[in-house]
Amino acid sequence: MKRKSFLIDTTLCTACRSCQVACKQWNKLDAEATVNRGSYENPPDLTPQLYNQIQFIEQDKGDDLQWLFINRRCMHCADAGCVKVCPSAGALYHTKEGMVAFNQDKCIECHYCVNGCPFDVPRYDARQKVTKCHACSDRVQNGLAPACVKACPTQALKFGDRDQLIAEARAAGKKLYGENDLGGLGVLYVLDDQPGTYRLPKNPAIPASIFFWKDVVKPLGILGFWGAVGVAALHYVTVGPQKFDESDDPQHKGGE
Say whether residue 35 binds another protein (CB under 8 A).
Answer: no
Residues 44-63 that bind another protein (CB under 8 A): none
Question: Considering beta carbons, is residue 60 or 244 the nearer one to another protein?
Answer: 244
Binds 184, which of ligand SF4, another protein, none (CB < 5 to 8 A, cut-off by type)?
none
Question: Considering beta carbons, is residue 66 or 128 the nearer one to ligand SF4?
Answer: 128
Task: Tell whether the torsion through CA atoms of 200, 204, 209 and 213 is positive or negative.
Answer: positive
Instruction: Calculate the dihedral angle through the C-alpha atoms of 204, 208, 212, 213, rounding to the nearest 10 degrees.
Output: -90
Q: Which helix H or strand E contains 4, and what residues bound it?
A: strand 4-9
Say whether residue 117 binds ligand SF4 (CB under 6 A).
Answer: yes
Strand partners, 107: none
Say whether residue 135 binds ligand SF4 (CB under 6 A).
Answer: yes
- Quick one: which of 96, 76, 100 has its CA closest to 185? 76
CA–CA distance, 253 with 93 (Å, rounded to integer): 72
Binds 228, which of another protein, ligand SF4, none (CB < 5 to 8 A, cut-off by type)?
another protein
Shortest gap between Cβ of 100 and another protein (angstroms)? Answer: 17
Question: Considering beta carbons, is residue 46 or 169 the nearer one to ligand SF4?
Answer: 46
Q: Which of 115, 144, 160, 176 binds another protein (CB under 8 A)?
A: 115
Binds 74, which of ligand SF4, another protein, none (CB < 5 to 8 A, cut-off by type)?
ligand SF4
- Quick one: which of 104, 112, 158, 113 has its CA closest to 135? 158
CA–CA distance, 97 with 154 (Å, rounded to integer): 25
